Structure formats: C-alpha cells, structure tokens
Chains A and B, each alone.
Chain A
C-alpha cells in the first residue's frame, strides 16, 4: 500500500478500510426519480458493486459518500445541508445527473436552488439524464481516486476554489488613501 505512509499504523488501517469499502448514502433533493431508479439498478447483482466494497447505507452517519440526485428545492436545501453536516469526516459528495450539476430542466424555476454546489461542496459530478449504472460506479471509483489524492495533500483544501478576499468598505478605503 502506497497511500498515507506518513501516518500511524492504526490510522493507516482505518484509511485502508475506508478506501477498500466506501459506504454510500443516497439523498433525493427533488429529482424526478429516474436517477434513484438507476441507483437501485446499480445495487442489483447484475452490476455487483460489492466487488468494490460499495454498500448502500440508510443513515448518513454511517456513510463516506453522499450521492445527491436532482436540483435542490428550496424546502430541501436546509435538510441537505443538515444531512451533509451529519456525515463523519472525511466526506465526499457526488452530484448526479444534469439536474445535480446545474439545475437541468428545472434551472431558473422559482422553487429550486439550481445546483447541489450552491448548498454543499461537490467533489464529483456525473453527467447524464439519468446516468447509467456503470457511470455511477465509475463516479464512486473516481471519488476514491480523489480521496487518495486528498490523503497525499493532507486535506481537501488544495483543490477547493480560492475564497475571494472580503471587499474593503468605502470609508476604510478613503482612510487608507489619506
């Protein structure tokens, strides 16, 4: 194993177990259910996700990866934020389908927030309407690759957008000028 050689033995064991068997939880934030049906199809023996150790869990408190399907409705946004906060670190989010990416057909409607990215930080996007089960498996495996890279960099910060500096108030600017 090459990942995380700088860590203690117990920590390395936990990391190995976590990368060997990602537990996922699914949250429907207002989708049309097509994505959910594709996820259910992914969990059937035909696609056999257990060969990657992927297990679907009912509780976000047990999960490593949160799969969000659909645009986030205004009613669901606080609930999605709360579910994200309930997950233990390190946690990863997959936004699924065209709606999860930028709103899809619901973009600009009065009752949606347009994207999962506006509510919780997203690590991996899956395109498609709906994505096929093999694309979902690919996204989870890709999330594991991102997780390994995060271990090398010691956290998620290296790939997050740089936060813009807060704007300087006008009176402060005038003081600095004089």
Chain B
C-alpha cells in the first residue's frame, strides 16, 4: 500500500478542471462541468493512479441532477468528481470505455433518473421490472405514480 494522496498532489492535476476541496482525510472532491468529466477521469486515471470506480451516485437537487463518480486506487484516497446535469436535457458522455464497471452504474442511473449516457453500448433496463412503463423515472423528486397506469406485477384481481 502506498501513501495517501495529499490535497496538493490532487490540486496539481485537477485544479485546471474546477475547484478542488478536501472533504475528509481520505476524500477529495472536484466539481466540474459535464463536458469535462471524461477529461477529469482520464487525468485522475493517469496521474493519480485512480484506476477503480467504487460508486456512481446521483441526487435530484431541483434544477439539476448531481452525478458523482467516486474513484479510488492503491493509495485508498477517494476522488469524487461531481458534475451537475441540467434537468431539461439530462445527457452526458458515457465512461464505460475508461472504467468498465461504470457501465452497470450508468444503466441503473438511466433506469431510475432518466439520464442518457451517450455512447453506452446497451442502455437497457437493469433494476426496474421489465414491464415498467417508458418515460417514468421513480427516483426523481417530482415523480408521482399516475392513477390507472400499470406499473408491472399482476394486473387483474384474484377474486
């Protein structure tokens, strides 16, 4: 195991893309724009040896979706790359070719939030049931089940 990354080391590589902050002793966050996300991941992959994705998280914060890539490596420091995706056009470039496991997280986020990952080879359902209606994203804050819509399961009454 190597030494943990310091804030200065991370700043030297990631400062160009956006503000860098140390949230906890082993967690460094950089906030950037959706168009630069791939470049940040490439930089973290090459210069900071962050070769693993441990989680991709999304939160609905009103006007934007807050998408965060959490990367780590042998130094066990978590680099959180946060982008804000506009709600009107939820779309961002896929990173499945840089970090293979990210493709599965992208399918899940597409299921639950409706964010389109451009360039993903197979953006199919992974977590919702197969007969879930199209264009319904249950983890969005403004989502409400529409009365009379069939959301999967069994339709007719038993008795």
Contacts and interface: CB of A to CB of B under 8 A. Distances in A.
Q: Do A and B bind each other?
A: yes
Contacts of B159: 121, 160-161, 163
Nearest to A113: B153
Interface string A59-81: 00000000000001111011001
Contacts of A73: 129, 153
Interface string A107-137: 0001101000111110000000000000000
Contacts of A118: 154, 158
Contacts of B153: 72-74, 77-78, 113, 119
A111 B145 CA distance: 11
A137 B101 CA distance: 46
B138 to A, nearest CB: 4
Max chain B Cβ within 10 angstroms of own Cβ: one of A110, A113, A119:
A110
Contact of B154 (A81, A160, A161): A81
A19 B159 CA distance: 26
B151 A110 contact: yes
A74 B158 contact: no
Interface string B129-159: 1011000001000010100000111100011
Given A74-B152, A78-B153, A110-B151, A120 B158 contact: yes
A163 B153 CA distance: 22
B4 interface: no
Contacts of A113: 153-154
Interface string A72-96: 1111011001000000000000000
Given A110-B145, A111-B138, A161-B159, A119 B154 contact: yes
Interface in B107-133: 128-129, 131-132
A77 B154 contact: yes
B158 A119 contact: yes
Interface of A: 72-75, 77-78, 81, 110-111, 113, 117-121, 160-161, 163
